[in-house]
Structure 1
């Protein structure tokens, strides 16, 4: 199912990118859903858990009915395939090989631990648009000789559930201005603070609010369906899937809890898209896990409160990662920044939040 989710992501990106209904055949050897518009495309992709390079913290046209039918048909085929293995309520691992993409860019920042580097990269053909990202490295020594402003070439390696860069080589230096920094416009909430009520459109088309979950502990995270990197939105959803499995299997755990996955791409992630995407991770079982999408007005209020940062760059979406736990009174006992937290940590946080006494 991990591989299926990645294919779904690519399918939505391919369909999203079509500026007109004229489709050219897919290259030989590629599946039919990777067809692209003859006039070109613009993808929307997400960036790593860090912020813009100097931050103090770290579609184009209406979707045509025939493309929706195409996507729904593709979803049905994948769900049918998933259903051939009975008793599975969560995605199952599928063996796949790593894919490697050649890239070039300019180093914007390297943290002291040398575990990742923020790079303003050019378009990576066949994978993503030009943007600024924070890439992981497997070997910290690979960054020892690099400094901000260095021009580099590198390989981006993508597996079913991870991604990193390697073969990094300095080719020169750049005097080009850095991408714009993020401006903090509102204070982030602290543990114990109450989260303001916000409304979303759920996958079933209904309007829901945080207040609808009063009396239940809630864990919510952010994503968008065409996010291509396994370490980002797909990892958030895999972690939610595994944490839900842990909680449902715990006969001593309280039952007053809910998971909520919130898309920040209202232009594309409409209810029918959310349902198909969500079922890749839920295994068709919607028990205590809802997918929804936030409007731009909701995001303007909510994002600063939890330090969610996202912006559009060269036609793409760059964002960090935030996962928040609410207790039964709508207050924040725990927030997970980035993607280093585990499903067990989230399950433990939900158990504690569910025990909170109502006023």
Structure 2
């Protein structure tokens, strides 16, 4: 009898959790329209904001000469993509804006990406093809985030945030993209949010 009650209790807990997940509704934290842009991705293709519309995309600001936070941020992004693949999510993009465009040519960005265990590189767009002044102002205006190259030539300063942009080209949520504390990057939450955005768009 006790075993039956225990089994029933476990089943009820699982059912409650699954029900909560299925009823999850995405709620944006911010509402910042991304300014239109024309850039070059790591494949040498010209891309614009319009090219990214129709699907949600996860963005970050990095540079290939970074020796501190950029490598773990990029690795964390590959982990998020693995999570998306496990959940059967297909309609999304991953976008990385270089904050050192003078050095980060398409060839340099391609080599950089090859150093990481990227599950599906067709979803990735590492962007360059603009000047330093532009990316600093673009980051501030569209993502409300800091990008600044020191006058003394030191490493470019930037935030360690992952930015979720919806299918209309509006920034809707921000997450930690790097943390030394265990569990600091919300991998599951990001994947669930992206999946939910897609399902909401499709009316599922």
Same fold (TM > 0.5): yes
- Shift, 1:332, TM fit: 2.0
Q: Give the aligned CA root-mean-square deviation in angstroms.
A: 2.2
Cα shift at 1:191:
1.3
Q: Does 1:322 align with 2:161?
A: yes
Q: Structure 1: any 5+ residue segments left out of the alignment? A: 1-189
Q: How far apart in 2 are the matches of 1:259 and 1:283? A: 11
In structure 1, what is the Cα distance between the partners aligned to 2:118 and 2:168?
A: 30
Aligned to 2:34: 195
Q: Distance in 2 between matches of 1:355 and 1:327?
A: 12
Q: Is the Cα–Cα contact under 8 Å of residues 76 and 177 in structure 2 kept in the other structure? A: no
**1:221 maps to what in 2?**
60
Q: Deviations over 1:254-304 (max 9, x none)?
A: x21111111111111101110011121244841312222252354144211
Instruction: Give me the whole-angstrom Cα distance separating, in 2, the residues matched to 1:221 and 1:354.
Output: 20
Q: 1:336 to 1:211 in 2, by over 3 A?
A: same
> SS where residue 239 of structure 1 aligns?
helix
Contact persistence 2:95–2:127 (CA under 8 A): yes
The answer to whether 1:355 aligns with 2:199 is yes
Residue 346 of structure 1 aligns with which residue? 190
Cα distance change, pair 282–219 in 1 and its aligned pair in 2 (3 A)? same
Aligned residues of 1:326 and 1:334 also touching (Cα < 8 A): yes
Say whether 1:275 aligns with 2:110: yes
Corresponding residue to 1:265 among 96, 100, 105: 100
Given that 1:193 and 1:331 are in contact with CA atoms closer than 8 Å, whether structure 2 keeps it comes out as: yes
* Higher RCO (CA-CA < 8 Å; seq separation 6+): 2
- Is the deviation greater in 241-250 or in 275-284? 275-284
Partner of 2:125: 290
Task: Give me the TM-score of the superposition, normalised by structure 1.
Answer: 0.42
Contact 1:264 1:294 in 2 (8 A): no
- Structure 2 partner of 1:303: 139
Q: Retained in 2: the 8 A contact 1:202–1:271?
A: yes
Matches within 5 A, 1:27-66: none
In structure 2, the CA distance between the partners of 1:223 and 1:217, relative to structure 1 (3 Å rule), is same
Equivalences, count:
165
**Which has the larger Rg?**
1
TM-score (normalised: structure 2): 0.72
Rounded to whole Å, the distance in 2 between the matches of 1:280 and 1:338 is 18
Distance 1:329 1:248 in 2: 23
In structure 2, runs of 5+ residues without a counterpart are 1-28, 179-183
Q: What secondary structure does 1:275 align onto?
A: helix
Aligned match of 2:83:
246
The verdict on how the C-alpha distance between 1:329 and 1:283 changes in structure 2, with shifts beyond 3 A counting, is closer
